[in-house]
Amino acid sequence: MSELLDKAREYESKKEKTIAEELRPLFHLIPRCGWMNDPNGFSFYNGKYHMFYQYNPYKTEWGPMHWGHAVSEDLLTWDYLPAAIAPDEEYDTDGCFSGSAIEMEDGKQMLVYTGVRREEDEDGNWHDIQTQCIAFGDGKDYVKYKNNPVIKSESLPEGAGKYDFRDPKIWKENGMYHIVVGNKTADGDGQILQYSSEDGINWNYEKVVIKNNNRFGAMWECPDYFNLDGKQVLMASPQDMLPEELEFHNGNGTICVIGTLGKEGIFSEENCQAIDYGIDFYAPQTILTKDGRRIMIGWLQNWDTCGIRRDDFPWFGQMSFPREIAIRAGRLLQKPISEIVNYYGKRISRKSVLITDSCSLSSIEGRCVDMTVKVKSTGANLSYKKFEIKFADNGKAYSKIAFNPEESIVKIDRKHSGSRRAVVHQRRCRVSDNKGEITLRLILDRYSMELFINDGEQVMSMGIYTDIRAEGISFKAFGELLMDVTMHELKR
């Protein structure tokens, strides 16, 4: 074990003892201490789910990228393990960037990651040299392969850029190992490349899976590629996107490209949509569980919103709630993982409540809840112009969800949540036109809100850092409507 990794492990084991339990979410994985970004190595190994993550243990800011490590038996209760890898070799001295993990035939777990080394060119410009590297371990301790990197820029196809080449996602199929890797072409456009290997060590370039063709941003980061419900799905996180109506927003986003595999494995696109329509979601990875469910977890943060933070927090960054995903009618469907029912506490339900103004309901409150709200007009015609839910409310600070049935638009808003920075605080998305009927399911977990609309047709996520004693929840109708609400307290 290297001196750098020893230092990180010693630091995190001491630092975590200083973090009060109430400063951690109940179910959303945060770093053991310091900074977290992309999920890495999401996998099942030795009877447990493993999640690694981009990690700077020393500060709540992006820094020298290590891999943090946690394990879980149900994807909701996590236990920290020591940091897995540190930037301690010449080829990754400037960071162990994102990647994935898989169990090998010999029983070892292999980590596949991007090693980064900064290099000055002849004109005095600095560039990140990004190569693909591997390490082998037993689920706790890992040793980097002596002949790293295993994929260098020399293997890139014609037209590929040699500097932006990162985030390998690995899988095994028909006895062969495969990875997809994000790449920016020499002329600044995104593409996803595929490599194959018989042993997971010696890799050969196969093909371009998909080209951006200047549609969605530039560099495509953190790809995932899998079959789901008879469709082939590619997920990626483009940088520098331009907005398209309410489907895609500016900056760093996420896309889900749904299609089929034709002759010779050619990917044919059929639909492209956003994965999350909210403020904070990036770089998702998926896993296939033993019982056949495809589960997705992303970084519940965004590079464009890192300005909203609590200066008194000993951590920054959290993972999303695990989501079961499916393809229905050619679109992505997402629901909170079903294991959530094992953490249900008190249940409160109200049926056919007539809402004509602002109101609160007895016992409907809290910051760790699973709450489903269904609203509809009181008659055949639309009887209201807007519906709002306020939450994390203490009379001064609050966050809000608003639904405009005339335009079929849902908006999330955290500008009054206590933030002192004018970063992104609102997002909108267009939903199905159901004549004023809508189902809104909120997962609140201390410092986040994830909204599942109409049984998961769309999801909107955001971090909130309001004091956790702000537990008020209220409802408001502009006009009149009928509301059903069911809330389960979440307990661990």
Q: Would you list the DSSP string of 281-335?
A: -EEEEEEE-TTS-EEEEEES--GGGTT---TT-SEE--BPPPEEEEEETTEEEEE
Q: Are 68 and 93 in contact (CB under 8 A)?
A: no
In 318-437, where do the E strands start and end?
A: 323-328, 331-336, 344-355, 358-359, 368-376, 384-393, 399-404, 409-413, 426-430
Backbone angles phi, psi at 386, to 5 degrees: -160, 150
Q: Which residues are catalytic?
A: 38
Backbone angles phi, psi at 17, to 5 degrees: -70, -15
- Among 128, 131, 141, CA closest to 69: 141
CB atoms within 10 A of CB 474: 17
Looking at this protein, which amino acid is placed at residue 118?
A: R
Those residues with Cβ within 8 angstroms of residue 490's Cβ, 6 or more apart along the chain or in another chain: 26, 27, 340, 343, 344, 345, 368, 369, 370, 444, 445
